[in-house]
Structures are given as structure tokens and as C-alpha cells.
Amino acid sequence: MKKKSKIRRIILLLIVVSGMGTGAYFYLQHDEKPRNRLDLYGNVDIRQVQLAFHATGRIEKLSVQEGDMVKPGQLVAELDPVRYEATEARASAEVAAKNQVLARLLAGSRPEVVREARERVKAEEANLADAKALYERMKYLVRTGSTSKQKFDDTETAFKSARANLKAANQELILAVKGPRKEDIALARAELRASEAALKLAERELTDTKLYAPKAGVIQDRILEPGDMAFPETPVFTLALTNPVWVRAYISEPDLGKVSSGMKAYLTTDSFPGKKYEGWIGFISPTAEFTPKQVQTTELRTKLVYRLRIYACNPQNELRLGMPVTVMIPLNQSLEANAGHSTLCQENPDDHPR
């Protein structure tokens, strides 16, 4: 009886050991990582942009709230534009005035001016002829003693004055025919260019009273409110860039030769089990560093590693900044960089405001 009981115990023990062995085998088989895949661990990098005006003024309007999604080029805030509009209007008027000055110089003298100068020359010629005739007559009379020396001197002075007036009239006619000097035209052109540059600056300053989102993302912080004074060094919003996201991961030196920039990668998170996010390796650090504290895998804690940046598409904003992720890199792909991956997360052009 005891012998049969002992046999049953031995058989039962063999069954238990066999079952444990089978379970361990299937467990190890299930838990074993595929040999054609490299798993890395990291976090979604925090990428932020501080949105600030490039002008100074009082905030008139804020168009978004914290948590709002924004598109590239979307208007998010505006300053009071009155002062900048006045400056732009004044600069525009100055350009118009300088254009008229230059046009007048390029057109030269008006026909009426030239005709008037010619008429003056003719009048001065007639005056000179009369003054010369009187001078010759008085010269004869003074020699014969028929007139006084004072009258002769007055006549001579009038003759010389008429001759000078004719010379001046001829010079005015020459200038009227030739038109403005080249130096005056060059000066007018330079003044016009200066006014045009001032107008461009005024237009740019007026444009800077509107604040636009440079990239797609989520408004993380709304720092100022309507009525606050804005300055170029004071942010109005903090914008979190969400698509694509950057994942910071680390790879050990033995695995470094298995990867290269441009290789495809897939991301998984604990928040969405079973869901994979498509991405690609964008950067591999050329220098080694000690494993950072946030890398929790046992085999990497005490080794030198190389930092990787993996880009990943995030159209639904499910990958949050700082979130821990697992990066899976298939090793059955070419090591040559594939620049085409960088277009995977480009926004739809139809979504961009015009």
C-alpha cells in the first residue's frame, strides 16, 4: 500500500515538473524579444516655443485659449495698431512726395520757362542796344563840352549794367534749356530710396502688431491678457509643438552599428496598448554619455550610451510631452538614410490659413 502511494507521489511530481517546464518554455518563448528588432526606451521630448510680439504696444485681442490647437500661420493675438497705422501713412505720403520731386527733375524745364527766358534775353538785348547808343552819343557830347561829366558817367554805368543783365539772361536761358543738374537728380533718387526704406519698415512694424503661430501645436500657457503691455522680450503664449514629436532614447555601443539616420521606427506607450506610431530615426549623437537616470532598463544603467532622436507622427495628439515610450526599430531594413521619412507628418496644405 505504501509502495503504491509512493509511486503515485512520484508520478504526480513528474507531472508537476513537466507542467512547470512546459509553462516556462512557453513563457520564455512568449517573452523572448524578436532577434530582428531592437527595443529602446525613452521619453517624448518637451518642445516649446515662446510666442512674443516683435513690436511694443497694448494687447487688443487674444484669439486662443490654453489647450487650443493651432495651425501654422494662424492669428493668435493682436496689438492696438493706431500708432503704427499713422506711421505707415506718413511714410507713404513721404514716398509720394519724393516721387513727385524726382519726376519734376527728370521732366526738365517746362516749355513756358524756356520761352520766358528767351523773351528776357531779347528784352535785355534791346536794352543794351539803347544803352550803347546813348553811351556813344554822350561820349561825343562830353568831348565837345556840350554835356556834363556826371551825365556821361551815369550813361556809362547804365550801359555796363545793361551788358551785365544780358549776360545773366543768357545764362538763365542756358540753364533752362539744359534742365536740372545730374547731381540734383541723383540726390532726389537717394532721398526717394530712403523714404521707400522707411515705408517698408513702417509696413513691417504694422504687420508685427499681429502674432501668428509658427508651427502646429497646442497652446500650453496664456501668459498675458488683453490690456497688458507687450514687449518683444515678453512672451504672450507658450506653444507646445506636437507633430511630429521628438523622442529622446539611448542606445548601447554594441547596438550602435545596427542603426542609422532615416531608419523606420515604431513607438508604443502604456496609455494606448497595442497601438503603434510610425516614426524614423532623425539624429544619432556622435559622442557617448553616461546612461541618464530616466532610462530604467537594468542592462543599460551602468553603460555608456549614445543619444538618439526619433521623430514620430502624432496627428491625434496622443503622444504627450514627457511621456515614456518604447521604441521598436526593425533591423531587417537598409542602414542607408531615407530622407523621405521626413515627409510622413507634413500637414495637409488645405489646413493652412491663407
What sign has the CA pseudo-torsion 50, 54, 59, 62?
Answer: negative
Do 99 and 131 belong to one domain?
yes
- Max mean pLDDT among 104-113, 167-176, 271-280 falls in 271-280
| Residue that terminates a domain, selected from 154, 179, 204 | 204
Q: Which amino acid is at 265?
A: A
> Is residue 197 located within the same domain as residue 95?
yes
Classify burial at 277, counting beta carbons within 10 Å of its beta carbon; exposed 0-12, middle 13-18, buried 19 or more. Answer: buried
| Residue 299 maps to a domain | yes
Answer yes or no: is 316 within a domain.
yes
Q: If pLDDT is split at 50, 70 and 90, which confidence band does 205 have?
A: very high
Domain count along the chain:
3
Contacts of 285 (CB under 8 A, 6+ apart): 306, 307, 308
Q: What's the chain's length in residues?
A: 354
pLDDT of 168 above 50: yes
Calculate mean pLDDT across residues 291-305.
Answer: 60
Q: How confident is the model at residue 90 (pLDDT cuts 50, 70, 90)?
A: very high
Tell me, yes or no, whether 286 and 141 share the same domain.
Answer: no
Residue 21 pLDDT grade (very low, low, confident, very high; cuts 50, 70, 90): low
Query: Residues 114, 161: one domain?
Result: yes
Task: Name the 3-class secondary structure at 53.
Answer: coil
d(CA 229, CA 242): 29
pLDDT, tens digit (0-9, with 9 covering 90-100), for 234-268: 999 999 988 788 899 998 888 888 888 889 999 99
pLDDT of residue 30: 45
- Residue 347 inside a domain? The answer is no
One domain, residues 192 and 215: no
CATH code for the domain of 235: 2.40.50.100
In a shared domain, residues 100 and 142: yes
8 A C-beta contact, residue 226 and residue 59? yes
Is residue 8 within 8 Å of residue 299, measured between CB atoms?
no
Pair 309, 336 in one domain: yes
Is residue 200 over pLDDT 90? yes
What is the grid cell recorded at 7?
A: 509511486
Report, as an integer, the average pLDDT of 65-82.
95
Domain residues for 217?
48-80+211-239
Q: What are the φ and ψ backbone dihedral angles of 265, each rounded to 5 degrees?
A: -145, 160
Query: Is the domain of 183 the same as that of 224?
Result: no
- Look at residues 269, 272, 217 and name the one whose alpha carbon lies nearest to residue 239: 217
Here the CATH number for the domain that contains residue 262 is 2.40.30.170
Q: Answer with the residue of higher pLDDT: 58 or 160.
A: 58
Cα–Cα distance for residue pair 1/8, rounded to 1 Å = 11
Q: Does 259 map to a domain?
A: yes
Do 197 and 259 lie in a common domain? Answer: no
Residue 1 forms part of a structural domain: no
Q: Across residues 215-228, what is the average pLDDT?
A: 93
Same domain, 321 and 264: yes
What is the distance between the alpha carbons of residues 117 and 296, in angstroms, rounded to a whole number? 97
Asked if residue 40 is part of any domain, the answer here is yes
What mean pLDDT, rounded, does the chain reach? Answer: 80
Q: Are residues 283 and 305 in the same domain?
A: yes
Q: Residue 327 pairs with which residues in a beta bridge?
A: 40, 267
Is 18 among the domain residues? no
Q: Give the pLDDT score at 89.
A: 96
In a domain, 4, yes or no: no
Whether residue 123 has pLDDT greater than 70? yes
Confidence of residue 154 (pLDDT cuts 50, 70, 90): confident
pLDDT of the residue at 354: 31
> Do 117 and 145 fall within a single domain?
yes
Instruction: Say what percent of the chain tops pLDDT 90.
Output: 35
Can you tell me the mean pLDDT for 79-97? 96
**Would the pTM of this model clear 0.85, i.e. be above it?**
no
